[in-house]
Amino acid sequence: MEDYINFDEAVQLLSTTKSTLYKWLKAGKVPAHKLGRQWRFKEDELKNYIEGNFKTNKTLSDLEDYLEKKERENMKASNSALSVLDERGHDIAEKLIWDAVASGAYGINLQPHKDHYEVQYRGASTSQKLPTIDKAAFDSLDNFFMELSDPYRGEEKRRLFLTREKAEEGSEKVDLQIQYTAMNTVLGKRLNLKIIRSDFTATKLEKIASGKDLKKIKDLLGHDHGVIAITGATGSGKTTTLYCAAKEQTEKGRLVFTVEDTVNFIIEGTNQIEVDFTNEDEVQKVMTDIYDSDPDVVCLGLGAIEDSAKQISMASKFAESGHLVLLQMHEANMEKAWQNLAGVLGRNKKLIRGIILQKLEKSETGGRKAFYEIKTEFEK
């Protein structure tokens, strides 16, 4: 450590203030090194910086210029909450998140390539690429995200929370939960930032289903106990359907619990519980607590990555004791979904009220539409 000087010593050498130096660090304007959670500096590098020989990180500056330009454009074009600059100001990491929200994205990917990082917004039906950055710029952004967030399942799974007031008087503020997931690839560290907004709530079933499909789904939800499986391939929209079903049950005055890996939509009045499905003790405790709460409806399988057999077994126990269970599965085939359910439920397969197989396809008017195959008659 004798080769490095600390933060206070760097402030004195640069003849500046602590707050100014911190801003320079966030902008990548000063040569510095992150050792653990602390910033450290090399005296010769700082002297080169003072003499004007240090080159700032151009790719990070390019990204910052892009985001600032977008903010100015948004402020001219709209009075909405998401285009209002926070009075405290944001570092580049925060600006990136708020710009993604303003663009309608639900996530940000930072993808490593051989000699650069690609920054991309992900939306429901589109994606948007931003100026590329180099590794030094990526490391700076990653440091910001690490400093702003707290781990909840190891260092690779973290959360950060941001808040911004809406522009209209009397309107509610916008709270964001950002789920940070890091993965190590052969080309380097990859980041996925999933954005969950407090004002994004589950919608009504009528907005995603219609006609005979809507009637069949509502008829199924009229049962007071048993298992209703909602299944489909990844990206089929089954999670949205389950959230809408849970919302309807809550609005009917039923006591509803959801057991989720991470909450994606807020359902007012519903008891939404996040669980680490890899921790069996935690899962068992949550299930016992829910059972003791005498629920009417239990929603299982939301966000569970592991095999569905454990989820089906839990569903069987709740259904057998007189509860209605909405179970998310990941089978894209009706027959396989039935076989999996019946195989685990065994003698309790008579409790299966129905299976809703969902697909998401392009509609004639553009965009995507949910299509359903619903089965309610089974071999007992």
The model's confidence at residue 338, banded by pLDDT at 50, 70 and 90, is very high
Return the structure tokens found at 166: 């809406």
Residue-level pLDDT at 320: 92
Query: Where does the chain have alpha helices with state H?
Result: 7-14, 18-26, 43-50, 58-77, 92-102, 135-148, 211-221, 238-251, 280-292, 309-320, 334-345
The more confident residue out of 242 and 279 is 242
Residue-level pLDDT at 229: 94
Among 20-29, 91-100, 202-211, name the one with the lowest average pLDDT: 20-29
Average pLDDT over residues 111-124: 89
How far apart CA 84 and CA 75 sit, in angstroms, is 6
Does the pLDDT of residue 117 top 90, yes or no? yes
* SS3 category, 109: strand
| Exposed/middle/buried for residue 370 (C-beta within 10 Å: 0-12, 13-18, 19+) | buried
Residue-level pLDDT at 87: 30
**Rounded (10°) CA dihedral 163, 164, 165, 167:** -160
* SS3 category, 202: coil
The more confident residue out of 355 and 378 is 355
Does the pLDDT of residue 249 top 70, yes or no? yes
Domain 205-375 has CATH 3.40.50.300: yes
Phi then psi dihedrals of residue 359, to 5 deg = -130, 150
Cβ neighbours, 10 Å, residue 349: 17
Maximum C-alpha span of the chain: 83
Percent of the chain at pLDDT above 90?
Answer: 32
Residue-level pLDDT at 124: 60
The answer to whether 355 and 375 are in contact (CB under 8 A) is yes
The model's confidence at residue 82, banded by pLDDT at 50, 70 and 90, is very low
| CA within 13 Å, CB half, 362 | 3
Residue-level pLDDT at 78: 44
| Exposed/middle/buried for residue 2 (C-beta within 10 Å: 0-12, 13-18, 19+) | exposed
Residues 6+ apart with CB under 8 A from 52: none
Per-range mean pLDDT, top range of 153-162, 219-228, 278-287? 219-228
Q: Where in the chain is CATH 3.30.450.90?
A: 58-197
Among 89-93, 158-162, 189-193, 222-226, name the one with the lowest average pLDDT: 89-93
Return the structure tokens found at 73: 């454009």
How far apart CA 175 and CA 199 sit, in angstroms, is 8
The model's confidence at residue 251, banded by pLDDT at 50, 70 and 90, is very high
Nearest to 122 by CA among 92, 94, 101: 101
Residue-level pLDDT at 125: 57
The more confident residue out of 304 and 268 is 268
Please identify, in words, the CATH class of the domain defined by 58-197: alpha beta
Phi then psi dihedrals of residue 302, to 5 deg = -70, 110
**Rounded (10°) CA dihedral 185, 186, 187, 190:** 0
The more confident residue out of 171 and 273 is 273
Return the structure tokens found at 144: 């910001």
How far apart CA 140 and CA 252 sit, in angstroms, is 49
How far apart CA 121 and CA 99 sit, in angstroms, is 9
- Containing H/E element for 272? strand 271-274
